[in-house]
Structure 1
Amino acid sequence: MATRRGRAGRKSTTREPIIQEPEAPEPEATRREAGVTESSRANRGWWDRNADEYQIEHGRFLGDDRFVWGPEGLDEAEAGLLGPPEGLKGRDVLELGAGAAQCSRWLAAQGARPVALDLSHRQLQHALRIGGSFPLVCADAIALPFADGSFDLACSAYGALPFVADPRLVLREVHRVLRPGGRLVFSVTHPIRWAFPDEPGPEGLSVSGSYFDRTPYVEQDEEGRAVYVEHHRTLGDRVRDVVASGFRLVDLVEPEWPAWNTSEWGGWSPLRGNLIPGTAIFVCVRD
């Protein structure tokens, strides 16, 4: 679960030292077009380079084996968006953008048979470090290496979909590998947040850009090569993507900020969370 603009991510408690590489020059942040290939190449490299720091920075909030949908702290054990926890036993589940596979670890504890997939090899090395008895797969979500009808459920907590230029490529692949009646649940940064500065304090409460500007957020090196890309879709875009990919949207969850959560997480904070939504969760069914 991860996004650079808002840094919604997970880490675990470390069981062995994590080696950090020397810091690279700070990239330039801009808004420009970035296609499927450039986005994939940039994000694979970014997560491989930054996985260690990311796992150090984010995680006590989420632990090794919780399934949390976003910085608000909405827990799948309580939300049941994939179905009642007791109904997960024996179900084949694909986690997209798994990172260190905390969600898959929780699913396995419920008796499910998860497969954790991530674009970043280094992120999956952290999944190995934490442990678990389920498969880890390093692959791009736009070309899933699974046969048709392989899974009962699919999930993604801030993984894969914010980072691809054409989310329908991912959604159609998920539709292909799900069995009829299968459910896909995914969370992303709430689209309204793209109109506000990515700041947790009062400066993040004034609109600074057009909600309708779909130009990607890009970090690029001195030669103009993208090293990180995140794509914006409006709420309507997301709904149309889901429907056009063969799914039926059955719920759209906008978690409210709970009183117990006093954490700041990138641009997420109690101040902003009590005023504007930070996460959107789409619950979809493959008929």
Structure 2
Amino acid sequence: MPSLSSRANRGWWDGNADDYQAEHGAFLRDAGFVWCPEGVDEADARLLGEVSGRDVLEIGCGAAQCARWLVTRGARVAAFDLSRGQLLHSRRIDEETGVRVPAVQADAESLPFAAESFDVACSAYGALPFVADPAAVLREVRRVLRPGGRFVFSVSHPIRWAFPDDPGPRGLTSDRSYFDRSPYEERDEHGALTYAEHHRTMGDWVGLLAASGLAITGLLEPEWPEGHDRVWGGWSPLRGRHLPGTAIFSCARI
């Protein structure tokens, strides 16, 4: 059964998919692989290695912009997202571009794919920040990867949780403990959960990956690039000059 976080986030993303794509779609590009608000592009970073001829899974694909880029690079791609609203945008972009991605609606804590089906799995801010049980997701990722398979994912840098989610000067002063793992939650007037994000420290992520049988092979903390003036929520040039905003973990199935 889906967790409370999954049910709440599915509804939130369904309700906000149109606004999200309208605001960020041009930056993400219809067939582009952008890892984070800092603009790290897989075409340059090559964190996934060679993907041509390989079976690749995108986890929490949104409108499948990353998966679509992988298709253009010769990968055999499958993708999924929790939100039907986001997948409707994926279908729209498929029709507009002629580059089609097989995408299904699914929960990352219970993947609808056979064991050892993929050479590579990837997730650009998909699923992992929003799930209550990241260990379940990581176990599922390991299950569907072939031996030696690669998993690369980006999440908010854990240090950001000690600061207000504000792109301006207020966002430079810590106002809570880094070690406070209370989730960020939004609730309706009746107290029902409507949105959730979950905080893990850097040590938590290392422990979770080790326990799941995934070995960390790299960690990228992107610096804010010169000339990049785009504000995305709490990400901004001001904060990016002082604090890491994203952590990108590269892993291999043991």
Q: TM-score, normalised by structure 2?
A: 0.97
Q: 1:151 corresponds to which residue? A: 118
Partner of 2:196: 229
One of 204, 216, 232 as aligned partner of 1:265 = 232
Partner of 2:78: 115
1:74 maps to amino acid: V
Cα distance, 1:134 vs. partner? 2.6
- What residue is the counterpart of 1:71 in the other structure? 37
From 123, 132, 144, give the equivalent of 1:177. Answer: 144
Instruction: Give the C-alpha shift of residue 235 in structure 1.
Output: 0.5
After superposition, the C-alpha distances for 1:68-118 in whole angstroms (9 at most, x for unaligned) are 1100000011111101xxx21111100011000000011001000111110
TM-score of the aligned structures, taking structure 1 as reference length: 0.86
Cα separation, 2, equivalents of 1:266 and 1:134: 28
Letter in 2 for 1:90: G
State the 1:61 CA deviation: 1.6
Structure 2 residue 212 is matched with structure 1 residue 249: no
User: Which runs of 5 or more residues in structure 2 are unaligned?
Assistant: none
Q: 1:133 aligns with which of 95, 100, 103?
A: 100
Give the Å deviation of 1:260: 2.4
TM-align CA RMSD: 1.1
- Cα contact 1:74–1:255 (8 A) shared by 2: yes
> Are 1:94 and 2:57 counterparts?
yes
2: CA distance, partners of 1:199 / 1:133: 37
- Asked if residue 57 in structure 1 is aligned to residue 23 in structure 2, the reply is yes
Give the match for residue 103 of structure 1.
Answer: 66
Q: Secondary structure at the match of 2:89?
A: helix
Partner of residue 181, structure 2:
214
2:247 corresponding residue in structure 1: 280
Distance in structure 1 (CA, Å) of the matches to 2:163 and 2:215: 30
Match of 2:87 in 1: 124
CA contact 1:156–1:187 (8 Å) conserved in 2: yes
Bigger RCO of structures 1 and 2 (CA < 8 A, at least 6 apart): 1
CA drift of 1:59 comes to 2.1
- SS in structure 2 opposite 1:117? strand
Could you list the structure 1 runs, at least 4 aligned residues long, displaced by more than 2 angstroms after superposition. Answer: none
Q: Which amino acid counterpart does residue 260 of structure 1 have in structure 2?
A: G
Distance in 1 (alpha carbons) for counterparts of 2:53 and 2:133? 32
Q: Which runs of 5+ in 1 are unaligned?
A: 1-35
- For the 8 Å contact 1:200–1:272, the answer to whether it is kept is yes
User: Paired residue for 2:134?
Assistant: 167
Contact 1:113 1:134 (8 Å CA) reproduced: no
Structure 1 position 246, deviation (Å): 0.4
Amino acid corresponding to residue 228 of structure 1 in structure 2: Y
Residue of structure 2 in register with 1:38 after alignment:
4
Please tell me the residue identity of whatever aligns with 1:130: I
Query: Aligned residues: percent identity?
Result: 66
Identify the structure with the greater helix proportion: 2
Partners of 2:121 and 2:90 lie apart in 1 by 18
